[in-house]
Structure 1
Amino acid sequence: MAQGNATTLPAVGFVRQASILPVLGFSATTLWRRVKQGTFPQPIKLSERVTAWRAEDVHAWMAAQGNSQQAA
């Protein structure tokens, strides 16, 4: 986990739902709805009970959201 600010995502590696929700600013329900709709990156099943996202994918998604909001 990142040092200092608890809402900072690592640049690379895997991040779990509890780590990304504070950064994204929406609920777990919205997160999973967006995954299902294909508007948020698909998670990776690391084991039977562990699901995570690639930090790189989350950062790219966040950057794209900023770009699309600026274009609107």
Structure 2
Amino acid sequence: MTSPDRILRCKDVMALTGLSRSTLYAMMSEGKFPPSVKLSKRAVGWRAAVVQAWLDAR
């Protein structure tokens, strides 16, 4: 399990969930996956605790 305050990048989230990049973003736009956190102008990430909670709820 990951640390709750860790930020996961897209590749980490894809490996953890088994979802593709396009599926992640499609699910985000439908409200079925937690939104990303903007890290910089061109980088986003997801809070590990939120992704883990989403996985546990599935």
Unpaired stretches in structure 1, ≥5 consecutive residues: 1-8, 66-72
In the alignment, which of 24, 33, 36 is matched to residue 17 of structure 2?
Answer: 24
Structure exhibiting the larger radius of gyration computed from Cα positions: 1
After superposition, residues 25-40 of structure 1 pair within 5 angstroms as 25-40=18-33
Match of 1:6 in 2: none
The alignment's C-alpha RMSD in Å is: 1.1
Identity across aligned pairs (percent)? 33
Aligned residues: 57
Code of the aligned partner of 2:39? L
Match of 1:58 in 2: 51
Provide TM-score, normalisation by structure 2.
0.89
Provide TM-score, normalisation by structure 1.
0.73
Code of the aligned partner of 1:51? V
Unpaired stretches in structure 2, ≥5 consecutive residues: none
